[in-house]
Chain A
């Protein structure tokens, strides 16, 4: 082996193709893991379907929904809560990714990702994109089943116009999960996340009831709902499914996605983040 050269080693950086290869690899692995975990897919679908077929069907005649944007006519209650259930699928998927990252960190798999020479922000963003992609697959499977229940957008374009909203909300919930995964020290603590993040976010939102109705009952709760990012994800999806854009929700969901991702990147930064302070 030749060892005779005095030339200094020059940094070579990474090409765009190498970044693309890395992104594809991370998304591919996430998809493979998802396919191998059939229970995860089934449970991701069963949860919103139970809400749709039992809860919404039961309350259909009790809870009428007046004409509120984006709807230009009265809609059935199960049509109203569908965007909330879609957001719930994505929220649970984000938390599932968070659980998976905590598990991977405890088991050591996370190290494989973090010792990649590509920038850490890119690795985490790729992981986020991978998680959001899986959540979108789940949402379309749910929408397919809901279609048989006669829940559908006013035109078929709704299935396309909802996609950008799903991407953005999927990224926001994924980033939230990633941030939480950096803060959760042990797998056992994850149950606390269920109690203190998922359920309050879901119930204190416009997923189940229109905000004007909440305001009638409790102005304070309506305020909580209005500042809850989950509410804005629901409204972004609701408007997009009806072929419209809710600009306020777009700004809030986009801003929160950037904020949560930025915080997660800092938390996973080896020189600044929370991992630094952990022994082991």
Chain B
């Protein structure tokens, strides 16, 4: 189990430091730097192709970091991946539940991948599923769930090993309005009640609330980062939509 009191002490929950990434000759990320503090909700805002999923793949070590550094609570993802990844929960954009297995079996598999024994895994599975209101579906096949229910189970699964940092890559894509609102509210509640640092990648500006931290990513470049109000002020815009349009419009002009 992670000792949260220690993890919260000095380190950023997630630190991205001058990270660049190439696919062949194409630059997908260009010198990106920002931090996510513990117990904070940070939105990674960008259009499709901005580099959000590439950044997530680097943070989760699906890709190796070749330029720059990424650390989770001070543990470098490249040099101490085990320590970094055990503090990280991930909800990928693509559905990653095994459809042929039950919810309980999916969670047990995840627990085993983190070295968590059967008894502890069962207790924690009941706990995290209850929090997303899915405990009654414990023995159902994943295939039988709706898109919103799958997402809730994936969030529960991501919390099973008690991470202190949670990544969610466009978790509300394809969901109806109520499912979107429920999931967003649940994750915000995790930040408030359990002190988890959250990085929420999205292209939907209406998922951002006043007071959130926001990181604007466009075509691999970080355009601005800070509190919503600060970003709006710097862009000279009345709201986040206008600020985003202005920032990305300026970026497009510069790129030309």
Contacts and interface: CB of A to CB of B under 8 A. Distances in A.
Given A32-B101, A279-B28, A4 B82 contact: no
Given A5-B8, A32-B105, A111-B96, A21 B117 contact: yes
A21 B118 CA distance: 8
Contact of A5 (B5, B94, B116, B194): B5
Most chain B CB within 10 A, of A12, A28, A113, A270, is at A270
A113 to B, nearest CB: 7
Contact of A3 (B9, B96, B100, B109): B9
Interface in A1-53: 1-9, 11-15, 17-19, 21-22, 24-26, 28-29, 32-33, 36-37
Contacts of B194: 1
Interface in B173-220: 194-195
A38 B138 CA distance: 24
Contacts of B90: 111, 115
Q: Is the interface of B mostly helix, strand, loop or mixed?
A: loop
Interface stretch (A68-76, A116-124, A158-166, A201-209): A116-124
Contacts of B73: 9
B7 interface: yes
A112 B6 contact: no
Contacts of A2: 4-5, 8
B98 A21 contact: no
Contacts of B117: 17, 21
Contacts of B94: 107-108, 111
A116 B85 contact: yes
B112 interface: yes
Contacts of A247: none
Contact of A22 (B100, B113, B195): B113
A1 B11 CA distance: 17
B112 A14 contact: no
A7 B6 contact: yes
Contacts of A270: 61-64
A278 B84 CA distance: 23
Nearest to B58: A270
A122 to B, nearest CB: 10
A108 B57 CA distance: 12
Contacts of A151: none
Given A4-B5, A5-B6, A115 B61 contact: yes
A12 B8 CA distance: 17
B112 A26 contact: yes
Given A25-B108, A25-B112, A6 B23 contact: no
Contacts of B86: 117
A276 interface: yes
Contact of B10 (A6, A29, A271, A276): A6
A277 B63 CA distance: 9
A111 B60 contact: yes
A170 B99 CA distance: 27
A117 B83 contact: yes
A25 B113 CA distance: 7
A251 to B, nearest CB: 34
Contacts of A113: 113
B181 to A, nearest CB: 24
B113 A116 contact: yes
Nearest to A16: B115
Contact of A12 (B66, B83, B105): B83
Given A22-B115, A276-B64, A109 B98 contact: yes
Contact of B109 (A8, A25, A37): A25
Interface string B90-110: 101011111011000100111
Nearest to A15: B115
A114 B115 contact: no
A32 B23 CA distance: 37
Contacts of A152: none
Contacts of A118: 82, 113-115
B92 A111 contact: yes
Contacts of B115: 14-15, 17-19, 21-22, 118
18 contacts: A3-B9, A5-B5, A5-B9, A8-B10, A9-B9, A22-B115, A25-B109, A33-B100, A108-B94, A109-B97, A112-B96, A112-B109, A112-B113, A113-B113, A115-B62, A118-B82, A119-B81, A270-B64
Return the 6 tightest CB-CB contacts between A and B, nearest first.
Answer: A25-B112, A18-B115, A271-B64, A108-B94, A116-B113, A117-B85
